[in-house]
Amino acid sequence: MDLQDTPEEWPVTATETPFQGKKTSVRTDDVVMRDGTVARRDYQVHPGSVAVLALDEQDRVLLIKQYRHPVRQKLWEIPAGLLDVPGENPLHAAQRELYEEAHVKAADWRVLTDVYTSPGGTDEALRIFLARDLAEAEGERYEVSDEEADMELARVPLAELVRGALAGDLHNTCLVVGVLSLAAVRAGDGVDSLRPPTAPWPARPFEA
């Protein structure tokens, strides 16, 4: 068995965009099924995202806590953000988010994992990086607004986050996938087996 996701595209007989937002939109496609019937599928069109699991020398993960209106909760998360520019190098975007949200830089970067956040309802592709050898960034802190102005910062041991994710106390996709992926790679082939930070990403091609 070839345990690998593979590209495939079923015919679309009609498409429309009933909603166009600032960064994302909603698309409706009429998709031809294998038996020849046509099914209508609505989904969010998304530019893609990056997230950073930043690990310090004490094996603590850098976290932010931020209000998320759709779920009416303040969630513990890792720094993350949109790929604002088409074709943007995801490493550069991740470095920017770590600086803007935590005023931190990192000397060592690896690709931790790539996921589709909810492929039944959005085409959002997410790349999570592992960042190590942390230090405070130079210069002025990035000026934040809206929900980000109320963010809390913390550093929490990785083992505690794994327990929290499995106990159902932590819910953010980037955080849960990130900490469990790091725990898994440590229990398996080790961090040195992770892909380099500029590894190809077919879901969101970019220029190195």
Check if 148 is active-site: yes
With contact defined as beta carbons under 8 Å apart, do 178 and 115 qualify? no
Rounded distance between C-alpha atoms, residue 62 and residue 72, angstroms: 23
Structure tokens at 154: 């913390």
Q: Identify the bridge partners of residue 76 per DSSP, sorted by sequence position.
A: 65
Active-site residue (options: 148, 152, 160, 207): 148
Token pair listed for 88: 């943007």
176: phi then psi, degrees, rounded to nearest 5: -65, -50
Helix locations, the chain, DSSP H: 90-102, 158-166, 173-187
Q: Where are the beta strands (DSSP E) in 21-101?
A: 25-32, 38-45, 49-54, 60-68, 73-77, 80-82
How far is Cα 68 from Cα 161, in angstroms, rounded to an integer?
A: 20
CB 127 within 8 A of CB 114: yes
Known catalytic residues? 148
